[in-house]
């Protein structure tokens, strides 16, 4: 399973990248706004900086919602850097736009996936990645990991090539469950990635080794 970081925060992106396990970055308008990135020039420069830090796929989300506008905006985003993946919402015009980008050799990430039906449509349109929002599904009393399992089964049966990118990750256990459920990629906040490191027996064991090493 590939690891992406789900943030527009440059210091967190650098920290995850320095771990040596990072395969890409996902952003969205909420994450960009959180970093105070405003205006087309600043937005484009920010994506360029992220591409210079991480050698992997970088999702940049369109802000428009009509087919023609999404195609124009996506073309501009894709021109920023060869690693840019155009992130498109799961709406009717979005499906059409994904098909256009697929036909024209531009990678896409279909975002806001909350059902298997949406995942089938995005795969049929040729999305490179599809992003089911695990945490938001759990928040609504449904089961996000079960959706990943269902989509993984359908894609295997049908031979769909879109990669399942588990998004809206809330904790380290989500990452483990998504790996077990067959996600191809997990995009995570830095805290959830670092949460995978933690085990009290590791800390206790290391303290004992350090103590005993003094007797060597």
Binder among 133, 147, 151, 165 for ligand G3P (CB under 6 A): 133
* Residue 6 interacts with ligand G3P (CB under 6 A): yes or no: yes
Query: Given 76, 87, 92, 198, which residue is catalytic?
Result: 87
Contacts of 42 (CB under 8 A, 6+ apart): none
CA 97 from chain centre, in angstroms, equals 19
Instruction: Give the nearest distance from C-beta 188 to ligand G3P in angstroms.
Output: 8
The answer to whether 28 contacts ligand G3P (rule: CB under 6 A) is yes
Q: In 55-212, at which residue ranges do the beta strands (DSSP E only) sit?
A: 57-61, 84-89, 108-113, 129-132, 163-166, 185-188
Per CB under 6 A, the segment of 41-49, 133-141, 142-150, 173-181 that binds ligand G3P is 133-141
87 noted as active-site residue:
yes
User: In the set 71, 78, 167, 193, which binds ligand G3P (CB under 6 A)?
Assistant: 167
Q: Maximum Cα–Cα distance for the chain, whole Å? A: 71
Give 65 or 214: the residue with its C-beta nearer to ligand G3P.
65
Do 168 and 183 touch, CB atoms closer than 8 A?
Answer: no
CA within 13 Å, CB half, 107: 18
User: d(Cα 190, Cα 18) in Å, to the nearest integer?
Assistant: 12
- Site for ligand G3P contains 135 (CB under 6 A): yes
Catalytic center residues: 87
- For ligand G3P, the binding residues (CB under 6 A) are 6, 26, 28, 133, 135-136, 167-168, 187
């Amino acid at each position: 399973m590939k690891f992406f970081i789900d943030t527009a925060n440059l210091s967190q992106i650098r920290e995850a990248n320095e771990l040596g396990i990072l395969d890409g970055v996902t952003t969205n308008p909420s994450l960009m706004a959180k970093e105070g990135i405003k205006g087309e020039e600043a937005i484009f420069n920010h994506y360029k900086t992220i591409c210079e830090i991480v050698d992997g796929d970088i999702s940049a989300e369109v802000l428009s919602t009509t087919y023609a506008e999404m195609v124009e905006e996506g073309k501009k985003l894709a021109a920023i850097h060869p690693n840019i993946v155009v992130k498109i919402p799961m709406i009717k015009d979005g499906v059409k736009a994904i098909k256009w980008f697929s036909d024209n050799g531009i990678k896409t990430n279909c975002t806001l996936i909350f059902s298997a039906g949406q995942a089938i449509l995005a795969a049929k349109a040729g999305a490179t990645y599809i992003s089911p929002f695990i945490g938001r599904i759990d928040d609504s009393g449904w089961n996000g990991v079960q959706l990943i399992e269902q989509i993984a089964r359908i894609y295997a049966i049908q031979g769909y090539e879109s990669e399942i990118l588990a998004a809206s990750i809330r904790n380290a256990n989500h990452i483990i469950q998504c790996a077990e459920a067959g996600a191809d990629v997990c995009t995570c906040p830095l805290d959830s990635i670092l949460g995978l490191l933690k085990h009290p027996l590791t800390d206790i064991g290391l303290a004992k080794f350090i103590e005993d090493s003094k007797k060597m």
